[in-house]
């Protein structure tokens, strides 16, 4: 891929290595991330902050040149790639972000945002379903500034692609509505590559896939075989390779000065381009003050002063409402003050309640269904694609993306979700129908393992709010956490507004909802089970003369970040505790002595029947609370599970 990388970087890409965050830079994504030495070499040659020592430290511990590109580690890397299919899907997100940002901010005479998104991808990326989802949507959305270059080398790790991948890729991409172009000799035909990229740039209403016929390991004795896919070349092969390309075979890590000069000249042109652009921006600032201020603010990742006043606040006398509906109310209130919010759903809009009234859809104007200023994306039934696209949207710099699906189907997007966490982007999943409480759809749709899964993921905030104030708190923390993605698990069924909940308390991740001096037990819960615990308090008091306090932990991750002192005040020594949550108990042992959960699949039926079947009722909770108290009564001064020898949260 070196020839096309050279043509692309030297003849097309607009970038300033001294400011890798310049808004209008062209984006480059290496979807086949295992080839990252190519990307590191480019960054080095063009003068990004990546030295020859960094190159030498390739795949060594604590280097900025890890085995696959990581955006937060390496200046000039736009998105974190390697898990196949993600990069090209991120690129779709970057291209959507560009089209949207241009539609919102560009003005006559101010073509502020017009960058291209380029992406290299290989056979593996094309085989992965996530790329099929994202690329089908990209075709529908007519993303003309997206240009993907397919390294068609006929080799994957197992050998020749004829073993498993004989589809007609070009025809498939045509079926998606892409322009497809071919360069027959990607090893030598630099002019052909240039012509293809030019044609791609000129086609404004379609993304383009350029198929480049290449030879893997070009120049090696093993060229064209899978022997060069993942293993280093042998010494004698490296030697002949260097000789073939005119290098001294005895030397390593040598870049001829004329190569540096050539690249740095291009880099200087890029710096000049940005300077010119900054002048344009200064004029824009004068003419379009409000837009300018908004753009600058968004680029900093900061929210407008006082935005949080738009968050709704509830009192116990307010009506019982499903938390998915509470989420809709939040979105309805905040979308006007947070123009960077770009939402959507994987074809469950009416169930996820992710679309505020009168939202404009993000659609190509020619469809008559919306335009590129639109802030609501119809993702189709494409959860994994949506997740990867959100990562690209967030990486662009001007957008905070959220996307809706059922909590159970966030798992379809697990590959993208973990990259949100790893690459530290602010994405928000509006994950409704969060438990057996969804009722009739049954076990195929009822999450059991899902919260444990995502709670175990580092740098991921999983929220399960119990009422309106907790829902507002979840949005508050999710939106103000610049470098952490969130999943908001929301109920289908109605939940009462709780006595004792406030936004301020809930943003600590866990708090005492119902205090009780001299309590015999602490009931600890989340989401739709908190109100059941509140009813269980009455049951315990009236029928058993037992005093219970109730703790709500809407977000483990945020609660874990509080001081030990605070956490021990919530879950103190001396009182046995019981967790209540209608899904896998895994992870609850960190907070409570006993767990009441569901370590089996659910059932299809009216949600109240399903809760009853599994005894998630005030009586069922009380029964287990009594068993807990009884079991722990002979342990004096029982220690809180919070109380540990050492903590390994991050």
The CA distances from residue 66 to 44, 69, 120, 131, 156, in Å, are 14, 6, 19, 24, 22
Q: Does 493 bind its own copies (CB under 8 A)?
A: no
Collapsed DSSP state (helix, strand, coil) of residue 303: coil
Question: Between residue 412 and residue 431, which ones bind its own copies under the rule CB under 8 A?
Answer: 412, 414-415, 418-419, 421-422
Q: Which of 78, 328, 383, 539 is catalytic?
A: 383
Q: For residue 290, count other CB atoms closer than 10 A to its CB.
A: 7
Q: Does 408 bind its own copies (CB under 8 A)?
A: yes
**Residue 89 or residue 471: which is nearer to its own copies going by CB?**
89
Q: Does 100 bind its own copies (CB under 8 A)?
A: no
The 3-state secondary structure of 35-61, one letter per residue: HHHHHHHHHHHHCCCCCHHHHHCCCCC
**Residue 256 or residue 458: which is nearer to its own copies going by CB?**
458
Is 383 in the active site? yes
Question: Between residue 429 and residue 468, which ones bind its own copies under the rule CB under 8 A?
Answer: 440-445, 448-449, 452-459
d(CA 353, CA 590): 33
Site string for its own copies, 138-167 (x = CB under 8 A): -xx---------------xxx---xxxxxx
Q: Does 278 bind its own copies (CB under 8 A)?
A: no
Q: What minimum distance in Å lies between the beta carbon of 36 and its own copies?
A: 10
Report the Cα 362 to chain-centroid distance in Å: 19
Q: What minimum distance in Å lies between the beta carbon of 156 and its own copies?
A: 5
Q: Does 361 bind its own copies (CB under 8 A)?
A: yes
Q: Does 589 bind its own copies (CB under 8 A)?
A: yes
The CA distances from residue 379 to 206, 374, 405, 526, 604, in Å, are 18, 13, 10, 30, 28
Question: Of these, 6, 174, 238, 301, which contacts its own copies (CB under 8 A)?
Answer: 174
Q: Assign 3-state DSSP to the chain and report helix, strand, coil percentages, each to 5.
A: 45, 15, 45
Q: Does 360 bind its own copies (CB under 8 A)?
A: no
Q: What minimum distance in Å lies between the beta carbon of 456 and its own copies?
A: 4
Q: Does 396 bind its own copies (CB under 8 A)?
A: no
Which residues, 6 or more positions from 367, have their beta carbon under 8 angstroms from its beta carbon?
none
Q: What minimum distance in Å lies between the beta carbon of 497 and its own copies?
A: 28
556: left (phi over 0), alpha (psi -120 to 50) or beta: alpha
Q: Does 233 bind its own copies (CB under 8 A)?
A: no
Question: Of these, 82, 207, 374, 620, which contacts its own copies (CB under 8 A)?
Answer: 82
Q: Does 332 bind its own copies (CB under 8 A)?
A: no
Q: Does 222 bind its own copies (CB under 8 A)?
A: no
E-assigned strand segments in 241-371: 321-322, 341-345
Say if residues 578 and 593 touch (Cβ distance below 8 Å): yes
Q: Does 61 bind its own copies (CB under 8 A)?
A: yes
Q: What minimum distance in Å lies between the beta carbon of 515 and its own copies?
A: 24
**Residue 408 or residue 469: which is nearer to its own copies going by CB?**
408
Among 385, 428, 425, smallest CA distance to 89 is for 385
Phi, psi of 378 (to 5 degrees): -85, 95
User: Token digits for 82?
Assistant: 């390697």
Packing angle between helix 36-46 and helix 257-287, nearest 10 degrees?
Answer: 80
Site string for its own copies, 119-138 (x = CB under 8 A): ----xxx-xxxxxxx--xx-
The CA distances from residue 353 to 161, 324, 527, in Å, are 43, 6, 18
Report the Cα 214 to chain-centroid distance in Å: 32
Say if residues 546 and 521 touch (Cβ distance below 8 Å): yes
Q: Does 402 bind its own copies (CB under 8 A)?
A: no
* 208-213/146-152 β-pairing: parallel
Question: Of these, 109, 204, 517, 650, which contacts its own copies (CB under 8 A)?
Answer: 650
E-assigned strand segments in 360-442: 376-378, 400-406, 428-432
Question: Between residue 546 and residue 585, which ones bind its own copies under the rule CB under 8 A?
Answer: 584-585
**Residue 80 or residue 528: which is nearer to its own copies going by CB?**
80
d(CA 106, CA 382): 30
Question: Between residue 280 and residue 299, which ones bind its own copies under the rule CB under 8 A?
Answer: none
Question: Of these, 111, 184, 499, 609, which contacts its own copies (CB under 8 A)?
Answer: 609
Among the residue ranges 82-90, 94-102, 255-263, 526-534, the one whose residues contact its own copies (CB under 8 A) = 82-90
**Residue 245 or residue 601: which is nearer to its own copies going by CB?**
601
Q: Does 301 bind its own copies (CB under 8 A)?
A: no
**Residue 370 or residue 468: which is nearer to its own copies going by CB?**
370
Alpha helices in 507-639 (DSSP H): 530-544, 556-560, 564-570, 607-613, 618-632
Among the residue ranges 19-27, 233-241, 343-351, 483-491, the one whose residues contact its own copies (CB under 8 A) = 343-351
Which residues, 6 or more positions from 60, have their beta carbon under 8 angstroms from its beta carbon?
none
Q: Does 336 bind its own copies (CB under 8 A)?
A: no
**Residue 171 or residue 357: which is nearer to its own copies going by CB?**
171
Q: What minimum distance in Å lies between the beta carbon of 256 and its own copies?
A: 29
Positions marked active-site: 383
């Amino acid at each position: 891929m070196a020839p096309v990388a050279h043509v692309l970087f030297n003849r097309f890409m607009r970038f300033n290595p001294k400011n890798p965050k310049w808004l209008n830079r062209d984006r480059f994504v290496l979807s086949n991330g295992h080839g990252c030495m190519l990307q590191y070499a480019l960054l080095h040659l063009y003068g990004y902050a990546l030295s020859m020592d960094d190159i030498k430290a390739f795949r060594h511990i604590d280097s900025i040149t890890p085995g696959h590109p990581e955006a937060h580690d390496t200046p000039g890397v736009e998105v974190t790639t390697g898990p196949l299919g993600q990069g090209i899907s991120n690129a779709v997100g970057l291209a959507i972000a560009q089209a949207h940002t241009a539609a919102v901010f560009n003005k006559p005479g101010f073509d502020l945002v017009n960058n291209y998104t380029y992406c290299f991808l290989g056979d593996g990326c094309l085989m992965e379903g996530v790329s099929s989802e994202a690329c089908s949507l990209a075709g529908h959305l007519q993303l003309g500034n997206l240009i993907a270059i397919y390294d068609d080398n006929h080799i994957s790790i197992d050998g020749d692609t004829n073993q498993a991948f004989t589809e007609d890729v070009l025809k498939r991409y045509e079926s998606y509505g892409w322009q497809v172009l071919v360069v027959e000799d990607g090893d030598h035909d630099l002019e052909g590559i240039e012509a293809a990229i030019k044609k791609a740039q000129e086609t404004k209403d379609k993304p383009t896939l350029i198929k480049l016929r290449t030879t893997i390991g070009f120049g090696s004795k093993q060229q064209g075989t899978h022997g060069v896919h993942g293993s280093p070349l042998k010494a004698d092969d490296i030697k002949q390779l260097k000789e073939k390309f005119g290098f001294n075979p005895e030397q390593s890590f040598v870049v001829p000065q004329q190569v540096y000069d050539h690249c740095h000249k291009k880099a200087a042109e890029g710096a000049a381009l940005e300077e010119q652009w900054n002048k344009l921006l200064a004029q824009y600032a004068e003419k379009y003050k409000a837009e300018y201020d908004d753009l600058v603010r968004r680029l900093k990742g900061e929210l407008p002063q006082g935005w949080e006043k738009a968050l709704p606040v509830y009192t116990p006398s307010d009506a019982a409402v499903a938390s998915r509906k509470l989420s809709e109310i939040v979105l309805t209130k905040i979308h006007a003050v947070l123009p960077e919010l770009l939402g959507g759903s994987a074809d469950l809009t009416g169930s996820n309640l992710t679309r505020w009234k009168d939202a404009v859809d993000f659609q190509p104007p020619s469809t008559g269904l919306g335009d590129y200023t639109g802030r609501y994306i119809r993702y189709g039934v494409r959860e994994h694609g949506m997740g990867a696209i959100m990562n690209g949207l967030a990486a662009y710099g001007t957008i905070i993306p959220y996307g809706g699906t059922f909590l159970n189907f966030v798992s379809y997007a697990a590959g993208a979700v973990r990259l949100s966490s790893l690459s530290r982007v602010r994405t928000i999943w509006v994950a409704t129908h969060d438990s057996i409480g969804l009722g009739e759809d049954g076990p195929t749709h009822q999450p059991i393992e899902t919260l444990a899964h995502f709670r175990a993921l580092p740098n991921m905030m999983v929220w399960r709010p119990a009422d309106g104030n907790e829902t507002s708190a979840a949005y508050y923390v999710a939106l103000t956490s610049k470098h952490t993605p969130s999943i908001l698990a929301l109920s289908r069924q109605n939940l009462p507004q709780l006595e004792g909940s406030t936004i301020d308390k809930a943003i600590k991740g866990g708090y005492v909802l119902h205090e009780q001096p001299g309590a015999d037990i602490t009931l600890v819960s989340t989401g739709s089970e908190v109100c059941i615990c509140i009813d269980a308090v009455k049951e315990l008091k009236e029928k058993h003369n037992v005093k219970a306090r109730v703790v709500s932990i809407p977000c483990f991750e945020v609660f874990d970040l509080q001081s030990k002192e605070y956490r021990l005040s919530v879950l103190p020594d001396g009182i046995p505790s019981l967790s209540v949550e209608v899904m896998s108990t895994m992870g609850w042992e960190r907070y409570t002595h006993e767990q009441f959960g569901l370590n089996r699949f659910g059932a299809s039926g009216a949600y109240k029947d399903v809760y009853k079947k599994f005894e998630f009722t005030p009586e069922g909770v009380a029964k287990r609370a009594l068993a807990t108290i009884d079991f722990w009564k002979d342990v004096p001064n029982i220690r809180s599970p919070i109380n540990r020898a050492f903590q390994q949260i991050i």
